[in-house]
Amino acid sequence: DAGVIQSPRHEVTEMGQEVTLRCKPISGHNSLFWYRQTMMRGLELLIYFNNNVPIDDSGMPEDRFSAKMPNASFSTLKIQPSEPRDSAVYFCASSLLGEQFFGPGTRLTVL
């Protein structure tokens, strides 16, 4: 299995631009998670889906952040408009029976 796939691996954008991060979970997994990692706040859960349905989005920092999971093999995290404080590494993870496997992450830099 290829594991969790995320794209792009690196993204540099200017403040105010829209950013879309993509994730393909491990085939057969029914839960998908988005996390953010920063030096100051560590690893934080943003949102997660079970069977493509958003369950808990209380970690999404602001209305500028949105996430979708149109099918079992694809999810997006969108930031519009982006701000410099959104700079972080964004991880996607998937699971079936409790083990959560993480993707390589997307390093986002907002100038």
**Which of 33, 79, 88, 94 is close enough to bind another protein by CB under 8 A?**
33
**Which of 36, 67, 88, 105 is close enough to bind another protein by CB under 8 A?**
105
Number of Cβ atoms within 10 Å of the Cβ of 35: 22
Q: Which stretch binds another protein (CB under 8 A): 15-23, 43-51, 62-70, 80-88?
A: 43-51
The CA angle 54-85-19, to the nearest 5 degrees, is 55
The CA angle 47-59-31, to the nearest 5 degrees, is 20
In the complex, the smallest distance separating the C-beta of residue 33 from another protein, rounded to whole angstroms, is 5
Determine if 48 is a binding residue for another protein (CB under 8 A): yes
Amino acid identity at 60: M
CB-CB contact of 37 with 91 (8 Å): yes
Determine if 90 is a binding residue for another protein (CB under 8 A): no
Q: Cα–Cα distance between 32 and 25 in angstroms, integer?
A: 7
Residue 59 or 81: which CB sits closer to another protein?
Answer: 59
Contact set with another protein (CB under 8 A) = 31, 33, 35, 42-43, 45, 48, 50, 55-56, 59, 91, 93, 95, 97-105
